Chain A
Amino acid sequence: MKIANSKVTAERLVRDALDKAKHFSDYNIFTFLDEEGAIKKAREIDEKIKRGEKVGRLAGVPYALKDNFLSPRGETTASAHILEGFTSPVTATAVEKLEAEGAIMIGRTNLDAFAHGSSTENSYFGPTLNSHDKKRVAGGSSGGSAVAVALDIVEFATGTDTGGSIRQPASFNGIYGLKPTYGCVSRYGVVAMASSTDCIGFFTKSPDDMDLLMSIASGQDPKDLTTLPDYYNDSKVKKAKKIGVVKDFDNESVDKEIREALKKKCELLKSKGYEIVELEMPALKYALAAYYIIVPAEVASNLSRYDGVRYGFRSEKSEDLENLYANTRDEGFMSENKRRIMIGNFVLSSGFYDAYFLKAAKARTLIVKEYEKAFSKVDYILTPVSPNPAFLLGEKVNDPIAMYLEDMMSVSLNLAGVPGLAIPAGENKNGLPLGLQLVGPRRSDKSLIEFSKELI
């Protein structure tokens, strides 16, 4: 990526990015653009460069921040009405780390409200359009971030991935998107969706950029007790030999051209001397069902704090406590938020907990074991990200089940906590990007990124 130096100023980089952001405003990528703040930061960096002072590894690099990361710059809305007017007094750990290296946030990007969705159509601010076809969805939930990188507005963008929210929009827009190992990057200061599956990751245009960002953002954080001890920068890149493909994903429900793209990449790997191993992973068929129990349960719980009492939106019809809660939440949440809250509360209610939540937790254990077993046989697994390329706006918005099926090949990674990297795999006959995902064992993030270069 382009970094500011004595020849190219940070201000130039930032101004270019801002110009492009404005040029592409009809894509509805940004919920907030901070022209003034970004230029001010850029000038500070340019001053440092002029004085010959040391600048960070991301000096002057403009980036886009998914609007569910807390930072005092602009409102943090998570594209949800209920957070309207909320400016955070604290900064997310990931944002702090990036900015300590000189990265400059030019704006916040659109998402499905609270990251609930696979198309960015569930945003209070309306959908973001696909970078390759404006009639189509950007994917989601991190749609804004994906399109910002795909249209080359910024060098990179942040994302969150709870069930595919980085990988799917990355593949819909033909760029790289990493969901790291659970616990590799701190979740502190990121609006929680589902605590046990949420991962912070990035969109980039190359594996090397991804590696640089991960070497900066990863690491244990005392503010997030679920972070793993530092390992990313000490990881030795492993030499891979065997690559697995999942037999069950090679069926009619997956778009033909995507399956062909996968086969082409396998041929490429074979030609480079890798062995392709067909894997049976029967436990993965429980992934979507388990995911849509565990995640809504955690969602319902994590969204309890949005009650109109302390910050954000409060309904005008708040004459008593009951109405304050009911009307604020009714008016403040999108239908998809409410759907997940209801499912979540249902599966947690007494009498149903064992039948749903506990059973899903057991299925999750099976999925964890299934991956462990797979990685005892192969080094990495290559699968499609989603069953289809970017679909039309409005195509699935009224069919929640169809929308949930978008996630069928992505969610098992979140349940197992393993890393997944979405990589570009060409385009279909209509010029829509196709994406695949590389899956590795826990803590193999660095090797996984390195290995992805073999597929270029």
Chain B
Amino acid sequence: MKYIPTIGIECHVQLSTKTKLFSEVDNDARGKEPNACVSPVDFALPGMLPRLNGEAVRLAILAGKAMNCAINPSSRFDRKHYFYPDSPKGYQITQFYHPIIGEGYVELPSGTKIRIEHAHLEGDAGKLTHFGSYSLVDLNRVDTPLIEIVSMPDIHSAKDAHDYCKELWRLMRFAGVSYGDLYNGNMRFDVNVSIAPEGADKLGTRAEVKNLNSFRSVERAVEYEVKRQSKLLDKGEKVVQETRGWNDASGETTGQRSKEEAKDYRYMPEPDLPPINLTAESIENEASKLPLMPADYRKKFSGVVADDILEVLLDYPELMNKLQEIDSKYVKAMSNLFASVLLAEEKSAEYLNDLPSVGDLNELAEMNEKKELSSTATKEVFLKLFDPQMKGRGAKVIAKELGLIQENDLGALEKIVDIVLAKPETQKAQEDFKNGEEKVIGFLVGQVMKESKGKANPSAVQEILKKKLKVDK
């Protein structure tokens, strides 16, 4: 039988605030010892009270606006209780009843809109590492601010699930609210999958695959679940409502916890934190800081930058920000350089951290346009603009230093051509050309290039050669 999958996704995004959600310690534990970023509040000493980080609230507003969501003027926190050593307080502070971010939608590159049910602020949990007879607890991640984005069940294919997660990742990075480092768990996805026969008016029973940390694993997990559930239904069996884990190596999901075993979190309003009250003005003020989003770029560069190149570049907010500052007549050329030269370079990740100035890039594009640089030389100078050793000197200076400026002075070129044509070793080729063997012109152009030490503009040389050899005829 043919089944239609229905998918809803919950996504946890770590916000890139300087300090934690409820304390003043460093939120960036990268490269630090375990338990180095833990305040008495995060450690849940007795008598400690959470202090709300205003920056997290501002980033949540930006994230909400990036997803076209309403921002709730009043939201508040709740406690979600469970016992586990990754939760020092014995509860997570979250927003169960009144989240800060309301309804909205995310538009996929295909144009499909996925509605957002809501998104809420909460604190992350710590991390446990298990050894044979003991486990170690690292609380560095405790109360790193998160927003949990809950989609409506609007997704109906593994591909759309993938694209939705990727678009969320882009939105969070463009909005500047998260580092979006998937490898380090900055974004994690829980995927709810159910299937129902085509035309059915009721959704099937769903299984939730938890803790996926790449778009690819989201896509594969959905594919696997659709297959698994289809087989069950085909056999006349039932799908069990449960939480499942994903094994990336085997490409399979496995059952972890059924609905009956589900924990009761005993939600309760958080009495230590007053509500977050936002005026329309303050929301508007934050929202106005939102830079252009992928959907804006698609509109702006439609017809200028090729679609496939644009989709590649949209993974890099830094590049898109740069691109929109570039002189509009050079955007197309620069988008090609970004996509095919910069991103192909092995040091590109390092280069992305510190991009050359718009002035330097415009200058380079202009030199290329005026044919002062060959396309090969343009690529070379382009990369040098990113090189920490060369940076800041400007395209012209670098091109000169490297001796890459093309000779476009026709008078000078003609002189070099004359020298080459006078050489005995070119006589045969000249004869051949005159006899209709036009492809030998390549050899002659090569000789001129050699004589000019590579600085001649080859197309100009070809023109001059053709003219000269014709006149002689």
Residues on A lying within 8 angstroms of B by beta carbon are: 68-70, 76, 78, 83, 86, 88-90, 92, 187-192, 194-196, 222-226, 297-298, 300-301, 303-307, 309-311, 321, 325, 345, 348-350, 353, 357
Q: Is the CB of A304 within 8 A of B81?
A: yes
Q: Which 10 A-B pairs have the closest CB atoms?
A: A304-B90, A195-B271, A348-B266, A196-B271, A305-B44, A191-B46, A189-B47, A190-B47, A309-B85, A195-B272
Q: Is the CB of A70 within 8 A of B90?
A: no
Contact with A along B85-111 (1 / 0, CB 8 A): 100111100000000000000000000
Kindly state the separation between the CA atoms of A83 and B44 in the bound complex, as whole angstroms.
13
The SS class assigned to the B binding surface is loop
Q: Tell me if B79 counts as interface (CB < 8 A to partner A).
A: yes
Kindly state the separation between the CA atoms of A306 and B51 in the bound complex, as whole angstroms.
21
Q: Is the CB of A325 within 8 A of B83?
A: yes
Max chain A Cβ within 10 angstroms of own Cβ: one of B44, B47, B265, B273: B47
The SS class assigned to the A binding surface is loop
- Chain B nearest CB from A71 CB (Å) reads 10
Q: Tell me if B278 counts as interface (CB < 8 A to partner A).
A: no
In the assembled complex, which residues on chain B have CB atoms less than 8 Å from the CB atom of A194?
271
Q: Is the CB of A305 within 8 A of B81?
A: no
Q: Is the CB of B268 within 8 A of A357?
A: yes
- Chain A nearest CB from B309 CB (Å) reads 49
Q: Tell me if B419 counts as interface (CB < 8 A to partner A).
A: no
Q: Tell me if B351 counts as interface (CB < 8 A to partner A).
A: no
The contact of A225 among B49, B135, B265, by CB within 8 Å, is B49
Taking CB atoms and an 8 Å cut-off, the chain B residues in 245-295 that contact chain A are 264-268, 271-274
In the assembled complex, which residues on chain B have CB atoms less than 8 Å from the CB atom of A300?
266
Contact with A along B424-445 (1 / 0, CB 8 A): 0000000000000000000000
Q: Is the CB of B268 within 8 A of A348?
A: yes
In the assembled complex, which residues on chain A have CB atoms less than 8 Å from the CB atom of B81?
301, 304, 348
Q: Is the CB of A224 within 8 A of B271?
A: no
Kindly state the separation between the CA atoms of A88 and B49 in the bound complex, as whole angstroms.
15
Q: Is the CB of B274 within 8 A of A225?
A: yes
A-B contact pairs, 11 of them (CB 8 A): A88-B45, A188-B48, A222-B51, A225-B273, A301-B81, A304-B83, A304-B91, A305-B88, A307-B83, A307-B85, A350-B266
Q: Is the CB of B45 within 8 A of A226?
A: no
In the assembled complex, which residues on chain B have CB atoms less than 8 Å from the CB atom of A191?
46-47
In the assembled complex, which residues on chain B have CB atoms less than 8 Å from the CB atom of A188?
47-49
In the assembled complex, which residues on chain A have CB atoms less than 8 Å from the CB atom of B50?
225
Taking CB atoms and an 8 Å cut-off, the chain B residues in 280-319 that contact chain A are none
The contact of A92 among B43, B47, B84, B271, by CB within 8 Å, is B47
Q: Tell me if B137 counts as interface (CB < 8 A to partner A).
A: yes
Q: Is the CB of A305 within 8 A of B268?
A: no
Kindly state the separation between the CA atoms of A130 and B141 in the bound complex, as whole angstroms.
48
In the assembled complex, which residues on chain A have CB atoms less than 8 Å from the CB atom of B89?
304-305
Kindly state the separation between the CA atoms of A309 and B88 in the bound complex, as whole angstroms.
8
Q: A68-B46, A225-B273, A301-B266 are in contact. List 14 more A-B contacts (CB 8 A).
A: A70-B45, A89-B40, A188-B47, A188-B48, A191-B47, A222-B51, A298-B268, A298-B271, A304-B91, A309-B88, A310-B43, A310-B44, A345-B266, A353-B267
Q: Tell me if B52 counts as interface (CB < 8 A to partner A).
A: yes
The contact of A224 among B49, B84, B91, by CB within 8 Å, is B49
In the assembled complex, which residues on chain A have CB atoms less than 8 Å from the CB atom of B264?
349-350
Max chain A Cβ within 10 angstroms of own Cβ: one of B44, B46, B85, B268: B46
Nearest chain B residue, comparing its CB with the CB of A321: B85
In the assembled complex, which residues on chain A have CB atoms less than 8 Å from the CB atom of B137?
309
In the assembled complex, which residues on chain A have CB atoms less than 8 Å from the CB atom of B47?
68-70, 92, 187-192
Kindly state the separation between the CA atoms of A152 and B365 in the bound complex, as whole angstroms.
88
Q: Is the CB of A70 within 8 A of B49?
A: no
In the assembled complex, which residues on chain A have CB atoms less than 8 Å from the CB atom of B52?
225
- Chain A nearest CB from B331 CB (Å) reads 48
- Chain A nearest CB from B201 CB (Å) reads 29
- Chain A nearest CB from B36 CB (Å) reads 16
Q: A305-B44, A309-B85 are in contact. Are A226 and B268 (CB under 8 A)?
A: no
In the assembled complex, which residues on chain A have CB atoms less than 8 Å from the CB atom of B49?
187-188, 192, 223-226
Kindly state the separation between the CA atoms of A454 and B50 in the bound complex, as whole angstroms.
41
Nearest chain A residue, comparing its CB with the CB of B50: A225
Kindly state the separation between the CA atoms of A222 and B271 in the bound complex, as whole angstroms.
16
Q: Is the CB of B45 within 8 A of A311?
A: yes
Kindly state the separation between the CA atoms of A274 and B118 in the bound complex, as whole angstroms.
57
Q: Is the CB of B88 within 8 A of A310?
A: yes
- Chain B nearest CB from A66 CB (Å) reads 12
In the assembled complex, which residues on chain B have CB atoms less than 8 Å from the CB atom of A321?
84-85, 135
Max chain A Cβ within 10 angstroms of own Cβ: one of B137, B264, B266: B266
Q: Is the CB of A90 within 8 A of B40?
A: yes
In the assembled complex, which residues on chain B have CB atoms less than 8 Å from the CB atom of A349?
264, 266
In the assembled complex, which residues on chain B have CB atoms less than 8 Å from the CB atom of A86?
46
